[in-house]
């Protein structure tokens, strides 16, 4: 077991690695070399990455891929996608290509409101608290003026502050439930700074409020923090086409395909076990774009899954129907994204990703990202109701297996050719490698 270390963050990068080598890797030079191999030879770039977080010892690569041919609201996009799962980008590209000849994707931002809360305890009269709140509300707003000044110039700011009595759920528990507009920023720092100032003003003003008893003057702030549940920061994307323009095959006519597709989505609407996987597939596309554009994928994940459960049961984020011989497939998802601030102006690949998208504003990025999720879900359901998922997955996974076995270029070429006409399974790949090598 490694010993307790203090002051680790203050060690130089070389000394951190030395400590790791000594206490975790048995002084194995391979471990040290692996870490060093991933350093960037450009010192300036490496320093930039080192400073994103604490205790950085190396870089962790993920593929930066692109999926072309996305027609969204009449404009063509090439989507940047950062993801490790082999089949995701191919699936997105396939869906994009399919829909570009059928009118493309339509997307629309429905709302952009974000939420933050000051959670506090108050032991006293709820009526007097309400009276205090009415009086203090203008002061709360005034107290954040230095923070909101710039945001207001960009069209954002504080939208509303409500006092919410939560005492039926938890003794003495109240909230300031606050809503914000954050323009093109994701806005986490802006919201949290406003909330912490609201909390301070609330405490200070309570001490001066004459109608309060001495105990009522002591409001206890529990915490002030934004919410990643953003059901009012919502975007909708859809595709539609006449049913007869859907794929048809010997096994499945276009109409049968449409009906089977709608039923697959219906299953994800009523069966949580399926819904979670269905939505995971949607997030394959969403997270890839979110990560490539420097946004917070954990926030997006948390918000999306909470929204999927908003009616009390966890459900599909997409919907499908056949109406007047039209097949309609859509997604509605909360996406609190930003195109300024955070990593957007720092990480060179994030900057490039945004440039690739034509430097979108936050609303446009919400639309593009929702489309990535819908496309991904279309591709997944398409495979699931026709060939099954493994055919495409294993084809894309072939290269990973070959790399695992350190296949040479010549071996790769031969095996890729072989698996063009044979089913890829892990054991079959191993058998074929062994055969080649024997």
Active site residues: 85, 280, 296, 393
Does 392 sit near ligand MEV (CB under 6 A)?
Answer: no
Which residues ranging from 256 to 285 are in contact with ligand MEV (CB under 6 A)? Answer: 277-278, 280-281, 284
In the bound state with ligand MEV, the residue whose beta carbon lies nearer, of 287 and 367, is: 287
Residue nearest to ligand MEV (CB): 281
Shorter beta-carbon distance to ligand MEV: residue 122 or 261: 261
Nearest to 191 by CA among 161, 219, 221, 163: 161
State phi, psi for 224 to the nearest 5 degrees: -130, 120
Give the CA dihedral 150, 154, 160, 161, nearest 10 degrees. -30
Q: Which x/- pattern, by CB under 6 A, does the window 295-324 give for ligand MEV?
A: ------------------------------
Length, in residues, of the chain = 438
- To the nearest whole angstrom, how small is the minimum distance from the Cβ of residue 111 to ligand MEV? 27
C-alpha torsion 260→238→361→44, nearest 10? 20
Q: Which residues contact 28 (CB under 8 A, 6 or more apart)?
A: 21
Nearer to ligand MEV, 104 or 281 (CB): 281
Question: Distance between CA atoms of 276 and 280, rounded to whole angstroms?
Answer: 6
Closer residue to ligand MEV, CB minimum distance, 285 or 334 = 285
Size of the site for ligand MEV (CB under 6 A): 9
Instruction: Tell which positions 370-389 bind ligand MEV, by CB under 6 A.
Output: 380, 384, 389
What's the min distance (Å) between Cβ of 319 and ligand MEV?
14
Q: In angstroms, rounded to a whole number, what is the distance separating the alpha carbons of residues 169 and 175?
A: 12
The residues near 159 (Cβ < 8 Å, ≥ 6 apart) are: 113, 178, 179, 180, 181
Rounded to the nearest whole angstrom, what is the least distance from the CB of residue 284 to ligand MEV in the complex? 5
Query: Residue ranges of the alpha helices (H) in 163-236?
Result: 188-208
Shortest spacing between CB 370 and ligand MEV, in angstroms = 17
Closer by beta carbon to ligand MEV, 284 or else 432: 284
Work out whether 397 is an interface residue with ligand MEV (CB under 6 A). Answer: no
Q: How far is the CB of 353 from ligand MEV (least distance, A)?
A: 22
Asked if residue 137 lies in contact with residue 201, where contact means CB atoms within 8 angstroms, the answer is no
**Of 202 and 380, CB closest to ligand MEV:** 380
DSSP states along 135-173: HHHHHHHHHTHHHHHHHHHTT-EEEEEEEEE-TTTSTTE
Residues 321-360: x where in contact with ligand MEV by CB under 6 A, - otherwise, as a string? ----------------------------------------
Give the binding site for ligand MEV (CB under 6 A). Answer: 85, 277-278, 280-281, 284, 380, 384, 389
């Amino acid at each position: 077991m490694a010993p307790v270390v203090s002051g680790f963050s203050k060690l130089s990068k070389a000394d951190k690695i030395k400590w790791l080598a000594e206490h975790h890797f048995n002084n194995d030079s391979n471990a040290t070399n692996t870490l060093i191999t991933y350093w960037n030879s450009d010192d300036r770039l490496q320093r930039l990455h080192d400073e994103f977080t604490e205790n950085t010892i190396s870089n962790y690569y993920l593929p930066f891929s692109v999926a072309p041919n996305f027609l969204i609201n009449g404009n063509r996009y090439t989507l940047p996608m950062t993801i490790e799962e082999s089949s995701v980008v191919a699936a997105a590209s396939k869906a994009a290509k399919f829909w570009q000849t059928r009118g493309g994707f339509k997307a629309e931002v429905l709302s952009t409101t974000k939420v933050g809360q000051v959670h506090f305890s108050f032991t006293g009269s709820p009526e007097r608290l309400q009276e205090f709140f009415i009086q203090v509300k203008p002061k709360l707003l005034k107290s954040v003026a230095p923070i909101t000044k710039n945001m207001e110039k960009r069209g954002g700011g504080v939208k509303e502050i409500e006092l919410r009595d939560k005492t039926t759920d938890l003794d003495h528990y109240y909230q300031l439930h606050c809503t914000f507009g954050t323009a093109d920023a994701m806005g986490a720092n802006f919201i949290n700074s406003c909330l912490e100032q609201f909390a301070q003003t609330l405490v200070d003003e309570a001490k001066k409020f004459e109608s309060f008893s001495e105990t009522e003057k002591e409001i206890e702030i529990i915490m002030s923090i934004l919410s990643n549940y953003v059901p009012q920061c919502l975007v909708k994307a859809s595709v539609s086409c006449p049913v007869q323009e859907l794929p048809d095959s010997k096994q499945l006519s276009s109409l049968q395909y449409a009906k089977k597709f709608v039923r697959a989505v219906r299953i994800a609407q009523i069966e949580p076990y399926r819904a979670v996987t269905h939505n995971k597939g949607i997030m394959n596309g969403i997270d890839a774009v979110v990560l490539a554009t420097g946004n917070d994928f954990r926030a997006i994940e948390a918000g999306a899954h909470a929204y999927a459960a908003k009616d009390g049961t966890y459900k599909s984020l997409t919907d499908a129907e056949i109406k007047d011989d039209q097949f309609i497939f859509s997604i509605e998802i909360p996406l609190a994204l930003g195109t300024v601030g955070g990593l957007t102006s720092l990480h060179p690949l994030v900057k490039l990703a945004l440039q690739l998208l034509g430097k979108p504003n936050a609303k446009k990025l919400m639309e593009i990202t929702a489309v990535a999720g819908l496309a991904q879900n279309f591709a997944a359901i398409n495979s699931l109701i026709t060939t099954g998922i493994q055919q495409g997955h294993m084809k894309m996974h072939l290269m990973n297996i070959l790399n695992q076995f350190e296949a040479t270029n010549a071996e790769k070429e031969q095996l890729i050719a072989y698996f063009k006409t044979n089913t890829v399974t892990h054991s079959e790949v191993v058998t074929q490698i062994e055969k080649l090598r024997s």
